[in-house]
Every structure is written in structure tokens, then in C-alpha cells.
Structure 1
Amino acid sequence: MTGRWQLFARRNVWHLLLVPLCLAWIYPFVWMVAAAFKTPREMLIGGLSLLPDEATFENFRRAWTTAKFGTYTANTITFSVAVVMLVLLVASTAGYALARPRLPGKKLLVGVLIATMFIPHGYTIIPTFVLVNGLGLSNGLLGAALAQAGPALVVPVLLFMGFFSGIPKELEEAARMDGAGYLRTYWSVMLPLAKPVIGTVALLNFIGAWNAFFVPLVFTLGNPDLRTLGVGMYGFYGQDTTDWTGLAAAACIGVLPIVVVFLFLQRTFVEGIAGAVKN
């Protein structure tokens, strides 16, 4: 009985010690949400208080209409979905090919792929821009999506490769006996089994694309109407002043879709990571 009580007390002591850390971690987010409902004067003189004296939705209206966050949200959805579709298409096919044990030069290809993870994104933006510009897509969201999806392929390819490597070979052999080729086997047999990995890759890249700043900034300089939310945030910074309450409201608009998407896909995310690592 004494041992059980000591174990119970030890666990609760750790919980009590972690509660202040959790509160300190979530406080900036809660303060941002509270600031979005305050007036500029109340936000500046209110200190660390969270509850506004009189809640106002003017900041959200200003962010959505005046700062064009309605347009930026639509641009960000288009950009993020395009990035996810490109990554899923390329990573799943590449992962399926690299999962074949007899693929010539497999170790070299995987080694080169992993080595690219250590190249800073800023070093590759110039050749990426030249390549996309050569395709005639430098002034649009599709070109920005191509530039964003390229460096994001390493981890998804490895996840798909690990998952496909763990699938029994008998499934592929049975598909071949039925007359299916590699492409048909990939599409009809392998890809439906990879739903957890698809969900994981989609979630990771959707969040990364939604929060992207550098690539959308470079590829929308010539067309400000195509800015994404990350780039549009800088519209609240003036030369002499900053619209902090409008910025807080804009941040809430930008964060809310990510939270909703993650809540819906969190189980798929965990299953995909666990399945790829296990295999």
C-alpha cells in the first residue's frame, strides 16, 4: 500500500510541476486571441490581462476586408492544397520505386536524398526561381507551389518507402498474376493500403505550406493580390507604427484552420508515423 501511495504521490508531484510550464507555454497564444478582441488602447495599456473590458470584432473586420485577408485566405488554401497534391504524387511514386529491393543504385539514391536535407532552403531559392521562371510560372501560385513542394519531398519519400517496404510481397505477386502492371499495382493495391502515411504527409505539408513565408514572398512580389496569409501579415507593420490588434486578429484567422485540420487528422498522423517507423 505504501509503495502504491508513493507512486501516486510521485506522479501527481510531477503533474503539479508541469502545470505552470503548460500555462506559460499556452499563455502567448491565449493572449493573442484576447488581444484580437481588444481596442488598440486597451491592448497597449492592459498589460498581461486577458479578458477585454469590451469585446470588439472591429479588428477581425479590418483584417478580413481592409487588409484583404479574405483574399489571402483563398490564396493560401489554393497554395497549400497544390503543395499537398504535388508532394503526395511525387513522394508516393518515388517511395514505391525505392521500396523495391532490387532497384539499381538504391543505396546511392537514398543517400543523396538524405544529404539534401542538410542544404539550407535559402541556398536553393535562386536556382529554383530560375527553373520555375523558365517554365513561365514565376508569377503565380502554381509556381510557388512547385518551389515549396520540391524541398519538402525528402521526409515524405522516406515515409512512403518505409511503409511500402513492409507490405508483403505476396500482394504484388498476386496482382501481377491477375495481369496488373507496376502502375496498376501501385494505384489499386499499394496506395489504398498507405492511407495512414498519406494522411501524415498531407497534414505535415499542409501545415508547412500554410505557414510558409519565404517562397510565397519571392513568387508573389510581382503580384501582391496573390499573397498568402504568411506574407500578408507584414501588411500590419507600418514605417512608424504597427497595428497590433489587427495583427492579432489576422493571426487568429491564420491559426484557426490549422488547428481544425490537425484535430481531424491527428489520429491518422500518429498511425502514419508509427506504421512507417515500425516497417
Structure 2
Amino acid sequence: MRRLVARRGTNALLHLALLTFGALWVYPFVWMLFSSLKTNTEYIASGIRLLPESAQWSNFSRAWRVGHFSAYFANSAIVTAATVVIVVVLSALAGYALGRVRFPGARVLLAAFTATMFIPKGYTILPVYQLIKHLGLLNTMPGVILAESSGAHVLFILLYTAHFRSLPQELEESAEIDGSGFFRTFRQIMLPLSLPIVSTTVIMQFIWTWNSFFVPLIFTLNKPELRTLAVGMFSFTGENTVDWSGMAAGASISLIPVMVVFILFQRYFINGIAGSVKG
């Protein structure tokens, strides 16, 4: 009986500690949401206090219209959607080749892919910039999309590789008997079976691209109308003043799509991570 009471007490303390840690972790996000409803003066003077004296919903309309967030939102949606499609297709094809096809040097190639994970993105931006420039796509939407979708995407390739290796060989053998070729087998049989990995790739790449700052900044320097939401935050910074409440409202707007995508795909995301680790 005493052990049961002690165990319950320990569990209660553990849950209390986790709830406290969770509250501290979420607090900055909640504070930003409430700060988007404050005036600039109240934003600076209120400190860590959450509730505004009077909700300033006009901050959102100011961010949307005056801060040009309507255009930035559309740019982010186009860049993110195109980048996610490109990355999903390329990563799935690479993972399928490494996971299902036996060829000389496969392990060396996989090791080379893995090694690129340790290369900082700042070192690769120069060749990417030169390539986009020589293609004549600098300061264009296709140029931003290609720059965002560039790179090895090693994490996704490894997830696809582990998943495709775990699938039974009989699937491909049955497809060959039915006269299905390599790409048809991949498109109609193997890819639909990898929906959890596809969802994982979509969620992670969506978040990375939607919140990307460095690449859109570099490739839209001379075209402010092509800015994405993350870069568009500069519109709230003047020469001598900063519209803090407008910036908080803009940040709140930019978080809505990320939250929606994660809520819709979270079940597949968890299944994809669990399945790849198991495989």
C-alpha cells in the first residue's frame, strides 16, 4: 500500500513538472498571440503580461493590407507548394533507387549523401546562387523555388530508403509478371504504400520552406514584391521605429498554415517516423 501511494505521489510530481515545463515552453507563443492585439506602447510597457487592455484587431488588417502580407502570403504559398512537390518526388525516387535497386557503389553513394548533412547551408548558397544566375532565374519565382528545393535532402532520402527496404520483394515480382515497368511499379504500387513517409516529408519540408528566411532574402533582393512572409517582416521595420504589434500580428498570420498542415497530417507524421525507425 505504501509503495502504491509513493508511486502515485511520484507520478503526480512528474506530471506536475511536465505540465510546468510545457507551460513555459508554450508561453512565448501565447504571449506573441496576445501581443498582436496590443498597441505598440502597451507592447513595450506590458512586459510579460498577456492580456491586452483593449484588443486591437486592426493590427491584423494593417499587417494584411499596409504590410503587404496578402502578397507575401501568396508568394509563400506558391514557393512552399512547388518546393514540397519537387522535394517529395526527388526524395522518393532517390530513396526507391537506394532501397530497392542493387548496383555497385550503392553504400558509398548513401554514405556520401549522409556526409552532406554536416555541410552548413551557408557554404552551399554560393554555387546555388551562381547556378540560378546563369540560368537567368535570379529575382524570379522559379529561381526561388529551385533554390529552396535544391540540396540533397538526406533525411527524407534515408526515410524513404528504410521504408522501401522493408517492403516485401513479392510486390515488385508480381508487378513484373503483370508487365509493369520500373516507374510504373514505383508510381502505382510502391509510392502509395509510402503515404506515412510522404506525409512526414510534406510536413517537415512545408515548415522549413514556409519559415525560410535566408534563401528568399538572397534571391529576392531586387524584387521586394517576390518576398515571402518571413522576409516580409522587414516591412514593419522603419528607419527609426519598429511596428512591434504589427509584426506580432504578421507572425501570428504566418503560423496559421503551419498549424493547419501539422494538425491535418500529424497522424501520418507519427506513423512515418515510427515506421522508418522500425524498418
Give the Å deviation of 1:210: 0.3
Contact 1:95 1:158 in 2 (8 A): yes
Matches within 5 A, 1:69-108: 69-100=69-100, 102-108=102-108
Contact 1:97 1:103 in 2 (8 A): no
Matches within 5 A, 1:109-188: 109-151=109-151, 153-188=153-188
Q: Which moved more, 1:8-17 or 1:43-52?
A: 43-52
Letter in 1 for 2:268: T
Tell me how far apart the structure 2 counterparts of residues 276 and 22 of structure 1 sit (CA, whole Å): 27
Letter in 1 for 2:39: T
Partner of 1:2: 2
Tell me how far apart the structure 2 counterparts of residues 55 and 152 of structure 1 sit (CA, whole Å): 46
Contact 1:233 1:247 in 2 (8 A): yes
Tell me how far apart the structure 1 counterparts of residues 137 and 7 of structure 2 sit (CA, whole Å): 62
Tell me how far apart the structure 1 counterparts of residues 187 and 24 of structure 2 sit (CA, whole Å): 47
Partner of 2:45: 45
Tell me how far apart the structure 1 counterparts of residues 227 and 44 of structure 2 sit (CA, whole Å): 29
Tell me how far apart the structure 2 counterparts of residues 203 and 132 of structure 1 sit (CA, whole Å): 26
Partner of 1:57: 57
SS in 2 for 1:12: helix
Give the 3 Å change call, closer, same or farther, for CA 241–152 of structure 1 in structure 2.
farther
Give the Å deviation of 1:257: 1.2
Contact 1:200 1:268 in 2 (8 A): yes
Tell me how far apart the structure 1 counterparts of residues 47 and 94 of structure 2 sit (CA, whole Å): 53
Partner of 1:193: 193
Q: Which moved more, 1:147-156 or 1:209-218?
A: 147-156
Letter in 2 for 1:124: T
Deviations 1:175-198 (A, max 9, x none): 001111111110111011000100
Give the Å deviation of 1:69: 0.3
Q: Which moved more, 1:96-105 or 1:85-94?
A: 96-105
Partner of 1:260: 260
Tell me how far apart the structure 1 counterparts of residues 254 and 65 of structure 2 sit (CA, whole Å): 14
Unaligned regions of 5+ residues in structure 2, if any?
A: none
Partner of 1:13: 13
Give the Å deviation of 1:78: 0.5
Tell me how far apart the structure 2 counterparts of residues 205 and 154 of structure 1 sit (CA, whole Å): 12
Letter in 2 for 1:15: H
Partner of 2:276: 276
Contact 1:86 1:149 in 2 (8 A): yes
SS in 1 for 2:100: coil
Partner of 1:225: 225
Whether 1:203 and 2:207 are equivalent positions in the alignment is no
Give the Å deviation of 1:3: 2.0
Give the Å deviation of 1:262: 0.6
Give the Å deviation of 1:22: 2.0
Identity %: 45
Letter in 2 for 1:20: T
Tell me how far apart the structure 2 counterparts of residues 102 and 133 of structure 1 sit (CA, whole Å): 37
Give 4+ residue runs of structure 1 displaced > 3 Å after superposition.
none
Letter in 2 for 1:47: G
SS in 1 for 2:249: helix
Tell me how far apart the structure 2 counterparts of residues 191 and 100 of structure 1 sit (CA, whole Å): 13
TM-score scaled by length of structure 2: 0.97
Tell me how far apart the structure 2 counterparts of residues 278 and 24 of structure 1 sit (CA, whole Å): 32
Give the Å deviation of 1:44: 2.0
TM-score scaled by length of structure 1: 0.97
Give the Å deviation of 1:52: 1.1
Matched length: 279
SS in 2 for 1:131: helix
Q: Which moved more, 1:97-106 or 1:57-66?
A: 97-106
Tell me how far apart the structure 2 counterparts of residues 267 and 158 of structure 1 sit (CA, whole Å): 20
Give the Å deviation of 1:199: 0.3
